[in-house]
Amino acid sequence: MMNGQGRVSPGSAAPAEERGCSWLSVWVFLIFALAIKAAIGTFGLWLVLPFCHSSDQPSALQQQEFSEQFSEWECASAVPQGTDRGWMCCPKGWRRFQGSCYFLSTDTMNCAESAENCTEMGSQLVVITSKAEQVFLTEQGGQPQKEINFYIGLFEVDDDQWQWVDKTPYNETAAFWRKGEPDPYPGVNCTAMHVPTKDLNNWNDVEPIAKLHRICEAAAVIV
């Protein structure tokens, strides 16, 4: 009821514009509920992804070209410098070092087959560009009482002219050839890492028909 001065008396009904506030509250509640439902649905998708570690790792892996070849992943919860994304991932069974994933095969193929196999997996024969990487791979490849040779991505394209598979410039001072290697014989134009050995200089040049193991490399997927 209105009094003479136009004010609402205690206990009187509020004007229509004030009663509208209750509808605003309803809309806020509905929007909040929809947001919660969407969040639960997204989290549910994460739970069914075939990750090997925690279930809240992101679904963006399935959108990466390299990742199309694999269904299971292992991810490290770490934020690489210069990025705001929080997972660095490699396919299950691959080994991660810094920003790369490495596959060390258990079967053997010739040189061309090894390169093709890596390509089919969205990778390439490994390109070794640092001592730290050479140390890591030598340690990974070594098995007690067993000698193994792994193809790597270094090829002789002309007489004594060596080139990495991805066109990375070949730096002779940063190469890890065994003593007396590479030898001058024609047709010996592929490169293998010989392990186990205590010496980091463990590269041999080999004939392309040799059936050896291989090391494939691809950039880790960051999501």
Same domain, 35 and 143: no
Same domain, 44 and 100: no
Q: At 188, which CATH number?
A: 3.10.100.10
Cβ atoms 179, 201 nearer than 8 A:
yes
Task: Decide: pTM greater than 0.85.
Answer: no
Q: Residues 6 or more apart from 52 whose CB is under 8 A from it?
A: 72, 73, 74, 75, 92
Same domain, 76 and 24: no
- Residue 158, domain extent: 59-222
Q: Number of structural domains, the chain?
A: 2
Give which of 97, 111, 103, 98 is closest to 154, Cα–Cα: 111
Is 54 a domain residue?
Answer: no
Cβ atoms 190, 213 nearer than 8 A:
no
Same domain, 114 and 30: no
Is 16 a domain residue?
Answer: yes
Same domain, 41 and 84: no
Residue 207 β-bridge partners: none
Written as tens digits, the pLDDT of the chain (223 aa) is: 444 444 333 333 344 444 444 545 545 555 555 555 444 443 332 322 333 333 344 444 444 556 677 878 898 866 545 556 678 899 999 999 988 999 999 999 999 999 999 999 999 999 999 999 999 999 887 665 577 999 999 999 998 899 999 999 999 988 999 999 998 888 899 999 998 777 899 999 999 999 999 999 999 988 7
Same domain, 36 and 104: no
